[in-house]
A and B are shown apart, each in its own frame.
Chain A
Amino acid sequence: MSRGEIVAAALAPHPPHLVYAENPPQNEPVSECGWENLRWAYERMRANLDKLDYDVIVILSPHWQTYVGTHFLGLDNFKSLSVDPVFPNLFRYHYDIDVDVELARAIHDEAAADGLAVKMMENPDFRVDYGTITSCHLTRPQWDKPIVCISSNRSRQYYSVEVMQEMTAQLGRATARAIEKSGKRALVLASNSLSHRHFVTESEIPEDMSKEHITSHHLYLWDMKMIELLRSGRTREAHDLMPEFTEQAMSETDGGGLTWLLAALDYPEYEAIVHGYGTIIGTGNAIIEWPCHAQEGGE
């Protein structure tokens, strides 16, 4: 068996608004348009990723929140209706997801060997979280790749951002090892926004773009600071800044996704591709691609 690898990775935020605005057949609500800067950014990233050959999408979503360790979807298929608990008016999505249980278990086992608390989720009635669905839909709407879905262990809330960093970085290294041993080619997604202070009101027409802006300028400055580090390959600095960023920008990096991704990539020093940045109901979102394959002479 050849050595597996991460062929690409991405920061792929999951606001359901982007799916809502796109009007895919799986989603019940209908919109006029909206958030084009981010949707077109996803389009650009998809165009890049479509050129790659990969076997599986490995994703960590902050909306499968677990407090007793890290969990992995552990059945071959999940099919149901996902209704966003916060924005049910925007996201009621019929999904049919195949899971790469073999790789999920391999990552589970690697993480367990590293001393992390882990558990496979094997209840067929379980509903896949809308973060996973949204990010995967926006990245690969064909749904023709199996996924490995990893929960967000809320160690940040139990302990601190620093402890979250240590635990999810360990999980990232375990993920990379498991992928390498599996012989599979993987796309790795961290499904999270950057600054994450929502508006607590919603405009009458959710896609009314005249109402969309960042919640506050200081959050915007934090987002730009972090994006600049990521796009210029200063990812260890980004990692070190993560606790402060998470606290100050109330960032969804508290779920560990970005930390996990950077660790899985062993802190890339090459430039990442920022496909776009925009706000969704006040939160800051960037779509960023790490073209790992290009760094290994693949192109």
Chain B
Amino acid sequence: MSGEVVMSAVVPVHPHPLLAAKENAGWQNLANAYEELRQRIIASGAETLVIYSTTWPSIIGHQLINDPNPKWTLVDDDFHDLGSMPYDFTVDVEFADAWNDANKERGLTSRGINYHGFPIDVGSVVAVSLLNPDNRWPVSIVSSNVYSNRAETIVLAKSCLAAIERTGRKVAVICAMSLSNRMFTEPIEAKDDRIHSLKDDEWNRKILEFLGQGRLEDVAQLSRQIHTQVRVQKVVSFKPMWFLSGVNGQNNNLIGEVLAYEALHGAGGAVVHLLPDPNPSGDKEYDEDDVEYYSGDRDVLAGDGEAQDVGWENPEADDGKHGEEVGEGDSHDSETVQSSAGAGDGALAVKGASQDGVAGGVGGTVERTVMINTDSAPKPVGAYPHARRVGDLLYLSGVGPRQAGSDEIPGGAIKNGSGQSQDYDIKAQTRACIENVKTILEAAGSSLEKVQDITVFLVDMERDFAGYNEIYAEYFTTIGATRTTLAITALPTPIAVEMKVIALS
């Protein structure tokens, strides 16, 4: 079986288009857009609707409705005077169970919900009622965990893709969400509805401009900033774009169309249609870590005290930085100190002990590690940080003599552009190499004096050992770090020496 995401959409969560469309032209416009979207779902050949709703908060991981026929009458907490919303939905239980299983396989806490009278949230009820009034499609509704951040949300999306693949479903993915979510805090007349502020309106239009161009991943990458700028801090972050981009492969290869954008008691509500682009430009611009498994940082039930050291997040008042990067890499509980990529010269480091230097995947112990990068050291030639702190130790990726910014090699490159060998100064290269080590250590709050162990790689031991050894002694005689010097055939850039360092932090 091979299922697929045949289309995606953004829809608003407020009940006004469902219950009171006639009272306001904008609300009616949204209701009409819902109907237009429904027709497009029909045309897409979708077999199941996946609903990710921001108005269903969960705490114990993620929850998935697997009651085959949830039925109740919902009344909105705020807009109860608009009327009641009876619902009688059909759920794709096979899909929900497959998704639940995939969540667990990827390290997420997850459970199915099959209880009579369970309160399906207003965003889901409004979306399904307007898009699926005749139960043409079974639905699968998932919660939005209040504590989850990007890593957890991306993994949730990948689990959804796994469920699509296992069940062979053609799926339309619907995010029920507001853009700006600041409502007026006092009752207003329907005719007076408008976006709460010009700032909110400008941000909403910026988001919609991107979505209209199909630049979904670009919006996802702005999620934290959007949350800070135009979101009431009810939850940790503006996460639906992470989910929606996750199920679309985290790229901008989409065709987008904004069907409507209107105010809903001050909040920004939009209906947006997103289709996979059959002729993508390859404009995949993401620069954040991709993540396959959620390793977790919250084994608090163990009660062994480790939980106090990790994953501390304020779900109500996140500042957009706090804990955002936790667990996003494929390592346990990693944090990125500086987001810019960069590292030494070491292909050796990539293969040996860089990004995968701390146990990844599901299970294992929780060890607090921090990735460290600095603009003052040469840029990387691979996907690894300059250094990684594990407990009291700093592990540096392989460091060569290249100069930050220019990539110039002091003492000259060992080969020219045609690959022909040329003369070079090993002393100058060694000195530059050690200075780069010093720079990275200091960026990490350490120093050359705290180096404990060094492994040095030379491409020509016979030619270079003496010169390298002389410069090395200038720096390290009094420090007394242990050292190993190895001869190797080549390094990935035309340099003669590279150092791998372990130091106290």
Annotate A187-210 by CB proximity to B: 1 below 8 A, 0 otherwise. 000000000001111110000001
Specify the chain A residue showing the minimal Cβ separation from B296.
A201
> Across the interface, do A117 and B116 meet the contact criterion of CB distance under 8 Å?
no
The number of inter-chain residue pairs (CB within 8 angstroms) is 125
> Across the interface, do B147 and A200 meet the contact criterion of CB distance under 8 Å?
yes
CB of A191 to closest CB in B, whole Å? 15
Chain A stretch 94-147: residues in CB contact (< 8 A) with chain B: 117, 119, 121-123, 125-127
Is B418 among interface residues, defined by CB-CB distance under 8 A? no
> Across the interface, do A201 and B314 meet the contact criterion of CB distance under 8 Å?
no
Size of interface on B: residues with Cβ below 8 Å to A: 48
> Across the interface, do A201 and B301 meet the contact criterion of CB distance under 8 Å?
yes
In whole angstroms, how far apart are the Cα atoms of A213 and B317 in the complex?
A: 24
CB of B66 to closest CB in A, whole Å? 12
CB of A246 to closest CB in B, whole Å? 9
Is B78 among interface residues, defined by CB-CB distance under 8 A? yes
> Across the interface, do A201 and B60 meet the contact criterion of CB distance under 8 Å?
yes
From A65, A69, A201, A210, contact of B186 by CB (8 A): A69
Q: Which residues of A contact B121 (CB under 8 A)?
A: 85
Q: Which residues of B contact A67 (CB under 8 A)?
A: 78, 183, 185, 232
Q: Which residues of B contact A52 (CB under 8 A)?
A: none
> Across the interface, do A88 and B115 meet the contact criterion of CB distance under 8 Å?
yes
> Across the interface, do B80 and A121 meet the contact criterion of CB distance under 8 Å?
yes
Q: Which residues of B contact A65 (CB under 8 A)?
A: 77
Is A154 among interface residues, defined by CB-CB distance under 8 A? yes
User: Do A211 and B303 contact each other (CB < 8 Å), given the known contacts A67-B183, A254-B316?
Assistant: yes
Is B58 among interface residues, defined by CB-CB distance under 8 A? yes
Specify the chain A residue showing the minimal Cβ separation from B234.
A157
> Across the interface, do A68 and B81 meet the contact criterion of CB distance under 8 Å?
no
Is A86 among interface residues, defined by CB-CB distance under 8 A? yes
Annotate B290-316 by CB proximity to A: 1 below 8 A, 0 otherwise. 000000001111010001100010111
Could you name 16 residue pairs across A and B whose Cβ atoms are closer than 8 Å? Answer: A67-B78, A71-B77, A71-B78, A92-B115, A117-B186, A119-B81, A125-B73, A153-B185, A156-B316, A157-B233, A199-B298, A199-B301, A201-B109, A201-B299, A203-B301, A250-B316
Known: A81-B117, A151-B77. 14 other contacts (CB 8 A): A65-B77, A68-B187, A83-B119, A85-B57, A85-B118, A87-B60, A123-B83, A154-B234, A198-B59, A200-B145, A200-B298, A201-B60, A201-B300, A213-B303
- Residues on A lying within 8 angstroms of B by beta carbon are 64-69, 71, 80-83, 85-89, 92, 117, 119, 121-123, 125-127, 151, 153-158, 198-203, 210-211, 213, 215-217, 247, 250, 254, 282
